Amino acid sequence: MINFWHGRPVLVTGAGGFIGSHLVEHLARSGAKVRAFVHYNSRGDAGMLRLLPQEILSTVEIVPGDLRDEDAVRQAVRGCNLVFHLGALISIPYSYLHPAEVASTNMMGTLNVLLACRDLGVERLVHTSTSEVYGTARSVPISEAHPLQAQSPYSASKIGADKLAESFYCAYDLPVITVRPFNTYGPRQSGRAVIPTIITQALTREVVHLGNLESTRDFTFVEDTVTGFLCAAQASGGLGEVFNLGTGEEITIAAVAEKIFALIGRDVSIVTDSERLRPDRSEVMRLISDNRRAREMLGWFPAIPLDTGLLRTIEWIRAHLDHYRIGSYEF
């Protein structure tokens, strides 16, 4: 059987992030020639890539830079025939504080990737969206035809980036496909996200501090999300289209917290922390995906049940508690 990825030159932007590091690892294990674009810092820190096994990391070309630097992006794209664009500022609370930076990185950064892919003749670009662009569900499950609602500066920036990708398909016939993950979780996720926030506190404290407990989310294990990216890259159709990557199941934050407490085996109480609440009109109360298009057109389906994914995440976090600032509100 022919290995699609063996020897294929591939660029991953946002490679130092949670999903990006898992995608890089999978591609490298599959024999791809991976170039990992990570945000430059003076410490030379490659983010979550530093946690990859050395025998895998040694095969990856790490390129530091800034998505807002057109030349840096162009140099990173050059020589790659397939690009996964995951790079973005993704924190919603951070976007409240610094909307201009988030808009610039997420929209201008995406524009630079699109321009480079167009000009250098990339065979396919897989662009990353987010379920946050839908806002609170008006109808469920949420299909790709659901209205887009900018309930935070972050969401607005991602809507803009998605529309830029759409425009390059329409105007320049750029071979781009957009995947829209729903609340990915798993090992290596930062304490900014709700599941690691719950787990780290539940492992070490008697009281867990959270925000809104009644909102629902469609939690998707990171391995399933990565598989969705790979399916999008190899699909025979779907160019110019958007595909939801979610399980099609929803659960409240309160219920997932109780599930985590039971899996850990500790009796823990929950306190709602006002600091962690979004502004009323910005709170996204319900997200649940309709993943039929991804199943039918990409051949993708989620395979990891929530309990299985949570157990794997708990065990990883238990072994890496030193990576987290437990109890502090990270954004």
Mean pLDDT of 107-117: 98
Our answer to whether residue 185 is catalytic in this structure is no
Q: Is the pLDDT of residue 50 over 60?
A: yes
Reported pTM: 0.96
Q: Is the pLDDT of residue 1 over 60?
A: no
H or E stretch including 312? helix 306-319
**What dihedral angle (degrees, nearest 10) is formed by the CA atoms of 159, 180, 239, 117?**
70
Task: List the chain domain ranges.
Answer: 9-184+220-249+284-304
Predicted confidence band of residue 327 (pLDDT cuts 50, 70, 90): low
* Amino acid occupying residue 65: G
Q: Is the pLDDT of residue 291 over 70?
A: yes
171-224 pLDDT tens trace:
999 999 999 999 999 999 999 899 999 999 999 999 999 999 999 999 999 999
Beta strands of 139-280 (E only): which ranges? 176-181, 184-185, 207-210, 216-217, 220-221, 242-245, 251-252, 269-272
Query: In whole angstroms, what is the distance from residue 1 CA to residue 7 CA?
Result: 15
pLDDT at 274: 86
Phi-psi region of 251 (alpha: psi -120 to 50; beta: other; left: phi over 0): beta
Predicted confidence band of residue 60 (pLDDT cuts 50, 70, 90): very high
88-106 pLDDT tens trace:
999 999 999 999 999 999 9
Burial 119-143 (b: 16+ CB within 10 A, else e): eeebebbbbbbbbbbbbbbeebbbe
How many Cβ atoms are within 10 Å of 265's Cβ, its own excluded? 7
| Domain 9-184+220-249+284-304 is found in CATH 3.40.50.720 | yes
Q: Is the pLDDT of residue 43 over 90?
A: no
Query: In whole angstroms, what is the distance from residue 181 CA to residue 193 CA?
Result: 14
Mean pLDDT of 307-323: 96
Query: In whole angstroms, what is the distance from residue 320 CA to residue 313 CA?
Result: 11
Predicted confidence band of residue 312 (pLDDT cuts 50, 70, 90): very high
Mean pLDDT of 232-239: 97
Mean pLDDT of 24-43: 94
The residue from 40, 94, 154, 172 that is catalytic is: 154
**What dihedral angle (degrees, nearest 10) is formed by the CA atoms of 231, 118, 69, 243?**
-30
Burial 37-73 (b: 16+ CB within 10 A, else e): bbbeeeeeebbbbeebeeebbebbebbbbebbebebb
Q: Percent of the chain scored above 70 by pLDDT?
A: 98
Q: Is the pLDDT of residue 328 over 80?
A: no
242-257 pLDDT tens trace:
999 999 999 999 999 9
Which residue in 314, 170, 191 sits closest to 240, CA to CA? 170
120-167 pLDDT tens trace:
999 999 999 999 999 999 999 999 999 999 999 999 999 999 999 999
177, two tokens: 């496909």
Predicted confidence band of residue 330 (pLDDT cuts 50, 70, 90): low
pLDDT at 130: 98
